[in-house]
Structure 1
Amino acid sequence: MHALLDAISTLEPPVQARRIFHGRGGRFAGCEQWTLDAYPPVLVLTSFAPATDDELATIDAALRARWQQAAAGQPLNWVFQQRGEALRIEGRSDTRLMAGEVPEPHVVMEDGALLRVQLQRGQNHGLFLDMAEGRRWVRAHVAAHRARTGQGARVLNLFAYTCAFSVAALQAGAAEVVNVDMSRGAMATGQHNHQLNGLLAGARFLAHDIFSSWGKITRSGPYDLVIVDPPSYQKGSFVATKDYARLMRRLPDLLAPGGHALLCLNAPELGVDFLRAQMHEQAPGLAFVERVANPAVFADIDEDRSLKVLVFRDTPP
């Protein structure tokens, strides 16, 4: 775990939510099981393989030593989460508070946005750090649309989760964002995130199954930007290999002429070619524009296995 300890030895107390160390990308031999994230004022260490008490003690000592150097007088708060095949099959994680405390409510910042997170309830904390560049792309795209047209973009946010994309779009000048997700709990957190940022108008929240709600979704269109960020595999909800095609077929009817679609996929077994081939087959009128780079810290020895965020544009005849 030398690379992880090296990262800890140069750690500065983080201000924004971000990943600090990404062993999962395979770039650090012997550290493939480890990730370290910052959700200020808390650090989250995650292991995707069994971790021994000795390993955790070594990491704890390294964190305490660095905190004394870089953050004297500030409390060290850190959480350990054990994941792995057995826990994943059972749909749970083992989470332990190792030092300090976790604030409640716990609000973090990313690029000026305030977002609520929950670190001690399951594997999803309320903000996916690997999507940071996707949210920055949305900010830039929506701001450019407003500058070019003089009007705010109309945005559809599918599989909205806690609506971080929506917050970014509205802060950048979007006229309206329609957020759709079947989880009422996630939608409630999303509404809270908008309130935290003073975004009291412009957002709609539909706690619906997307595949059963196309009529309502389409009637609210057309949209200048459609964001599609589904789970890669969620039994009974979404399976990328069969359900992404169903989404793509809807895009031509959802997009305004010249509109853009931001498609996301976090399935290591499915690469960029999967999305591009599916789009060519299901919605050939949408042209590939670019792949949005992941945050540098998430670099992978095989970028086709990492998060894919692709931009397509409607090309009217």
Structure 2
Amino acid sequence: MQALFDAIASAVMPTDAQRIFHGRGGRYPGCEAWTLDAFPPVWLVTKFGDATSEEMAALTAALQVRHAQLAPPDTPLNAVLQTRREGRSETTVLAGSVPEPHGVTEDGTKYRVNLQRGQNHGLFLDMAEGRRWVRAHAKGAKVLNLFAYTCAFSVAALEAGAKEVVNIDMAQGALTTGQQNHQLNGLNSGAKFLAHDLFSSWGKVTRMGPYDLVIADPPSYQKGSFVAAKDWPRLLRRLPDLLKPGGRALLCLNAPEMPESFLREQLAAEAPTMVMEQRLANPAVFADVSPDRALKVMVASLPPL
């Protein structure tokens, strides 16, 4: 765990939510199970596996030492540990407390997060460059945001001047948080929120189009919602019918066992009229010894007429 302790010893609580240490990338031997995130004013440590009482005590002590070096007197340390194993998670407050409601920022945009419920906290930090790409390309666009979750892409698109965003997700609770995210940023129009199963709603989704930009960031494996190996081909073959000529799709694959070539090959097979343009770089802190194991964020386009 020494590399994690070294990261803590030099960490500074940032203004924006972001990852600080990414042991999961395999670049720090012995720390592959650990990550450290900042969700100001809270540090979130995650271990993929069980944490011993000795590890928890050592983490708390290291965070307290660094906090004492940085924070004004009488300012509490807020730190949370989440352990994950076999699809289950357990969250422990190591020190201080977690705000409720808990709001964070990214590039000046506000988002609602929850560090004490479930494995998904409301904002995927590894997708920061994807949101920045949307900001750069959404002006004037009609956008379809599939598997919208808490609608961070929608907020980014509307702030960039998108004409309209249609958000679709099966989970009404996530969409409700998405609506709150829009309200936090003064975005009171321009977005639709549809709690639908995409694969039984193609007719409605298609009739609401065509779209200048389609964003697809599905779970890699969620029974009853999306299983990457089976459902990516079903999704990709629909893209040409959803997009305007010259439109683009942002395709996000977060399955370590599936390489970049999987998306490229499936797009060529299922939507041969489309062109894969590029793979976006992930935030530098998410560097991985195997690019194929890391998050894959790809841009594809439908050629203009």
1:72 CA drift (Å): 2.7
Q: Root-mean-square deviation (CA), in Å? A: 0.9
Superposed, 1:48-197 pairs within 5 Å as 48-73=48-73, 74-85=75-86, 88=87, 92-142=88-138, 146=139, 152-197=140-185
CA distance in 1: counterparts of 2:84 and 2:271, whole angstroms: 38
The residue type equivalent to 2:227 in the other structure is V
1:215 CA drift (Å): 1.2
CA distance in 2: counterparts of 1:220 and 1:141, whole angstroms: 20
TM-score (norm 1): 0.94
Partner of 2:291: 303
CA distance in 2: counterparts of 1:35 and 1:13, whole angstroms: 15
- Percent of aligned positions that are identical: 67
CA distance in 2: counterparts of 1:135 and 1:40, whole angstroms: 19
Partner of 2:16: 16
Question: Are 1:285 and 2:285 an aligned pair?
Answer: no
Gaps of 5+ in 2: none
SS at structure 2 position matched to 1:95: strand
What are the superposed Cα offsets for residues 131-169 of structure 1, whole Å, 9 maximum, x if unpaired? 111111111112xxx4xxxxx110000000000000000
Verify the 8 A CA contact 1:285 1:316 in the aligned structure 2. Answer: no
CA distance in 2: counterparts of 1:112 and 1:254, whole angstroms: 31
What are the superposed Cα offsets for residues 258-306 of structure 1, whole Å, 9 maximum, x if unpaired? 0000000100110110000000000011101110111100000001001
For this pair of structures, how many residues does the alignment match? 304
SS at structure 2 position matched to 1:27: coil
Partner of 1:37: 37
The residue type equivalent to 2:170 in the other structure is M
Question: Are 1:294 and 2:290 an aligned pair?
Answer: no
Question: Are 1:237 and 2:225 an aligned pair?
Answer: yes
Partner of 1:149: none
SS at structure 2 position matched to 1:155: strand
1:250 CA drift (Å): 0.8
CA distance in 1: counterparts of 2:56 and 2:130, whole angstroms: 33
CA distance in 1: counterparts of 2:2 and 2:72, whole angstroms: 24
SS at structure 1 position matched to 2:91: strand
SS at structure 1 position matched to 2:186: coil
SS at structure 2 position matched to 1:264: strand
TM-score (norm 2): 0.98
What are the superposed Cα offsets for residues 10-30 of structure 1, whole Å, 9 maximum, x if unpaired? 111221100010000000011
The residue type equivalent to 2:47 in the other structure is S
SS at structure 1 position matched to 2:238: helix
1:239 CA drift (Å): 0.7
1:58 CA drift (Å): 1.2
User: Of 223, 248, 256, which aligns to 1:260?
Assistant: 248
Gaps of 5+ in 1: 147-151
SS at structure 2 position matched to 1:83: strand
CA distance in 2: counterparts of 1:13 and 1:108, whole angstroms: 12
What are the superposed Cα offsets for residues 72-105 of structure 1, whole Å, 9 maximum, x if unpaired? 33321010111123xx1xxx31101111111111
What are the superposed Cα offsets for residues 99-136 of structure 1, whole Å, 9 maximum, x if unpaired? 11111111110111110011111111111111111111
Verify the 8 A CA contact 1:13 1:71 in the aligned structure 2. Answer: no
The residue type equivalent to 1:78 in the other structure is A
Verify the 8 A CA contact 1:161 1:181 in the aligned structure 2. Answer: yes
Q: Deviation above 4 Å: which 4+ runs of structure 1?
A: none
